[in-house]
Amino acid sequence: MTTQITTREYILFAMFAVLTSKIMTMPHVIYNYATHDAIFSVLLNMLIELLLVVLITLLIAKNPDKTFFEFLSSKITKFGATIVIIIISLYLLLKATFILQETYTFFLHTIYEQFNIFYFFVPVFLLIGYMAIKGVRTIGKSLEIFGFFVVIGLGIAFINTVGLATFDANLPYFRDGISDVFAGTFYSSFYIGNSLVLLFLMGKVKINSKITQKTLLCCSLVALFVLIMDFLFYDILGYTVIYSTFALSDLSQFNPFVSDLGHLSWLSIIVGTVNLFSLVAIMLYSIGEGTKQFCKTNTATIPILFALAIMFGTCYILKFDLKVFNEIIIDYGTYFATSVLGIVTILLFILNIVRRSKNETVTKQSNNISSNIDANSVDAI
Amino acid sequence: MLIVLTPSSFTTPSQFKSHAIATSMALDTAEDELELTIQIIKPQPNSGSGPKYQHISSQGATISDCIEKLEMQLGRIIGLGHCATMVISDDVCTKYNLLYTLDDLIRGNELGTNTLLIHTMDKAKDILTSSAAEENNTQDLLMDITQLNQQLYSTKTDLFSFYNNSISPHSTAIMLSLDINNDAQQGQSNSESGAQGAASGSTSATSDSTSNSSNSSGQQSKSIKSQGDISIFVDGNLVDTLSYQELKGFNWLDSKTKRNLFKLENISSEELTNATMELVNLGQNIKLETSITNNTPLIYAKVDVRAKILKIQDENDAILTNQISYIDESIQSAFKELVQKEVDDSIKLSKEKNFDKLNFYHLFEKNHYKEWQQYLANLDDPDNYMQGIQVYVDAAITENAQ
């Protein structure tokens, strides 16, 4: 019997995927290219993310008994499905590595002056490896608990900072046209596409009615929250965004009341950490699920362990330096991410349309057969 | 979180022994170098004997240089995360560009964004040490003074505001300016802090508010004086230090200003004959409308002030009750004239010194972007955009009986 998660847990998966990374380093990266219009790049990014969520959820809702690999194999042959799975898994592996490095740098930025890499990576790898190996139900149950803390933390972060906004710091918008908006979206494309992890939940979700509408509604609320927090970031920090790296933690320092208390910034640390770890665990699980058929094994343990080794190796080669990561992502990762997102989006569109067309053809044929039978019956009588 | 934080916490030595917590800093010049003085918390036994804070100084080419020498001197790493105030002497502001001087601190994320910057014509170290007695903490005192000024006169002078304003197009940042009151006081056991408003009008009477303190042994100490003076910086360079009087016009155009005193003189009406009226501003609503006509930027300011009458002195020494409202057309007219005059004086000063305290640049840029860019393009020097700006004020008072 296949392990299944509830619709609510699926929606939590989607919400975490939409939220993570969008209020950490992404706003700073976008600002480098879009400056005053950066918020519109964020808007575009969130719309792309929501589109992916909708397309994937539609696919999952209509194919509740098939995994993504099985579904793809029936549409574009096994070889084609293998290629797609490998590309998406590689993409998720790179994103997971980046998010891990982002988290390590976040700890250095907010908590520790020095942080031994082994004291970070060993416990983290144990944690996310365990979650990924235990499977989708463990992650789903964990998200139900984490979600509460994330909501509280983000709510407090919002309340702390909204009073400091002037709402006009970046006006007028589109002063130099709209090309900056697309540049901001293009160069931050590596930060979007987290929702591709949902593809690997296909066949593992107990489908309720209106799952697509509910998922879209909840993810839209998350997207709206991201938009608001990034707007506050750009509005409050103004031109000093260039000095800032992590939006969530840097924003929480601006309220003197919070600074005096000294400890409320920990909320942002907890929220950020929980978010990042959860998504890395989900990505690791997705990579395991996607690649386990190539290992000719029923469990994803070996692919997950292999992925962890690659992640650590990559971080080691890049010297655990977030700036080095960012440079590589801007130079190369952007093109790879844009290509993957573009191809996957088009593929999802086609799969959804082709599926509906086939169903309509079958329905018409069924109707014709039925009408023929009726006609023959009448004649017989 | 426990899984990640516990191993590192167990193996990290206690920072109490390896770090010194700096609560305030002072930056002076010494010959051709910078002199940095920090106030650090001095660990002491529970008996509480001895001073609570310690001041140490070092000289170097840059702030980082000074900090390195201080750390060697102390044998501890200096933690600036709790540093709430930084006093900078006029010598440093005159000789150095503060954007570059303070770059060490903001780029490396050493100081918090809420660290208050204070300018002084005297030695910055003296500001720091003047109130560092057993019962007092310089940091709290300076923060009280500066934050009160922020609330009353909208003079936001923290590190973040300084940087954000300096690197924005209008480039103008401000700092509160404090001085040492050289009339030393002895034996006072309380300390006061506060900024003040001054009566205005045709007379210029100012009052000082001073904060005095002494330690428990009664030693003579200097006191800090705040007169509401503000230092203006453009692109990180000090332009001038202006008095509260000179900047009053800007306060009328800022919606955050409140509790400033103002005086109307030679008022005559049905109830009053050649009267002098002192009022306090309880809050104001400002509406700024902008236009660029014939390549001239214009600002029309509608200022509505809620005010309370504190004092009325009538020529005939009439006994005046509080049962009627004295705010009539003559008062309104006098008030409007007063505000226009003070605004004109402040705008004239800003044109002479070429600074833009209220960020008119952004006001025109957001409302009339294309016309504003054309206006700037037509100027010989786009940085001198203040020269062409004209401000008209329509001010009115609403009496508040509170």
Of B73, B145, B139, the residue nearest B112 (C-alpha): B139
The predicted structure's pLDDT at residue B139:
59
- Looking at the fold, whether B343 and B369 belong to one and the same domain comes out as yes
Of B342, B358, B345, the residue nearest B154 (C-alpha): B358
* Low-confidence stretches of chain B (pLDDT beneath 50): 134-135, 184-220
CA distance B197 to B184: 24
| A182 reaches B (C-beta below 8 A) | no
**Measured CA distances, A150 to A157, A282, A370, B366 (Å):** 10, 16, 55, 36
Q: pLDDT tens digits, residue range A68-119?
A: 888 888 888 888 888 999 999 999 999 998 888 888 888 877 776 667 777 7
Q: pLDDT tens digits, residue range A202-223?
A: 988 888 888 999 999 999 999 9
What is residue B25's DSSP assignment?
E
Of B87, B81, B79, the residue nearest B146 (C-alpha): B87
Q: At what angle do helices A301-317 and A117-134 cross, to 10 degrees?
A: 160
| A259 reaches B (C-beta below 8 A) | yes
Decide if B345 contacts B250 (C-beta within 8 A).
no
Beta-carbon contacts of B304 under 8 Å, excluding residues fewer than 6 positions away, are B284, B285, B286, B395, B396, B398
Residues β-bridged to residue B261: B280
Contact B164 A254 (CB under 8 A): no
B109: chain A residues, CB-CB within 8 Å = 109
Q: How many domains does chain B have?
A: 2
CATH number at residue A126: 1.20.1740.10
CA distance B63 to B49: 32
A280: chain B residues, CB-CB within 8 Å = none
CA distance B235 to B194: 29
The predicted structure's pLDDT at residue B212:
38
The predicted structure's pLDDT at residue B289:
94
**Residue A355: is its pLDDT beyond 70?**
no
- Looking at the fold, whether B304 and B214 belong to one and the same domain comes out as no
A259: chain B residues, CB-CB within 8 Å = 112, 114
**Measured CA distances, A114 to A55, A267, B15 (Å):** 43, 21, 12
Q: pLDDT tens digits, residue range A23-79?
A: 888 999 999 999 999 999 999 999 999 999 999 999 999 888 888 888 888 888 888
| B167 reaches A (C-beta below 8 A) | yes
How far does A208 lie from chain B, in Å, by closest CA?
A: 34
CA distance B282 to B270: 26
- Looking at the fold, whether B188 and B261 belong to one and the same domain comes out as no
- Looking at the fold, whether B7 and B76 belong to one and the same domain comes out as yes
The predicted structure's pLDDT at residue B182:
67
**Would you place residue A185 in the very low, low, confident or very high pLDDT band (cuts 50, 70, 90)?**
very high
Q: pLDDT tens digits, residue range A263-307?
A: 566 667 777 778 888 889 999 999 988 888 776 667 788 888 888
Contact A240 B160 (CB under 8 A): yes
**What pTM was computed for the model?**
0.85
**Would you place residue A2 in the very low, low, confident or very high pLDDT band (cuts 50, 70, 90)?**
low
How far does B396 lie from chain A, in Å, by closest CA?
A: 26
Q: pLDDT tens digits, residue range A149-162?
A: 888 888 887 887 88
- Tally the C-alpha atoms within 13 A of residue A276's C-alpha that lie toward its C-beta: 30
CATH number at residue B324: 3.30.300.210
Coil vs helix vs strand at A134: helix
A175: chain B residues, CB-CB within 8 Å = 369
**B contact test, residue of A104, A240, A322, A323 with most B CBs within 10 A:** A240
Of A19, A40, A38, the residue nearest A28 (C-alpha): A38
Domain of residue B226 covers 2-243
Of the three residues B186, B217, B243, the one that is the final residue of a domain is: B243
**Residue A135: is its pLDDT beyond 50?**
yes
The predicted structure's pLDDT at residue B335:
92
Of the three residues B243, B265, B299, the one that is the final residue of a domain is: B243
A111: chain B residues, CB-CB within 8 Å = 5
Q: Which two tokens stand for residue A59?
A: 């696919």
- Looking at the fold, whether B340 and B219 belong to one and the same domain comes out as no
| A155 reaches B (C-beta below 8 A) | no
Domain-embedded: residue A124: yes
The predicted structure's pLDDT at residue B220:
47
- Looking at the fold, whether B125 and B211 belong to one and the same domain comes out as yes
A274: chain B residues, CB-CB within 8 Å = 1
The string over A177-194, giving b where at least 16 C-beta atoms fall within 10 Å of a residue's C-beta and e elsewhere, is eeebbbbbbbbbbbbbbb
Decide if B118 contacts B87 (C-beta within 8 A).
yes
- Mean predicted lDDT score pLDDT of chain A: 83
Of the three residues B195, B216, B243, the one that is the final residue of a domain is: B243
Q: Which two tokens stand for residue A90?
A: 């590689």
Domain of residue A16 covers 7-370
- Looking at the fold, whether B212 and B287 belong to one and the same domain comes out as no
Q: How many domains does chain A have?
A: 1
| Residue recorded with tokens 């296949």 | A2
The predicted structure's pLDDT at residue B200:
32
The predicted structure's pLDDT at residue B189:
35
For the segment A4-17, the average pLDDT, to the nearest whole number, is 91
- Looking at the fold, whether B99 and B9 belong to one and the same domain comes out as yes
Domain-embedded: residue A379: no
CA distance B37 to B130: 13
CA distance A360 to A349: 17
Of A12, A63, A42, the residue nearest A358 (C-alpha): A63
- Looking at the fold, whether B235 and B253 belong to one and the same domain comes out as no
**A contact test, residue of B113, B158, B255 with most A CBs within 10 A:** B113
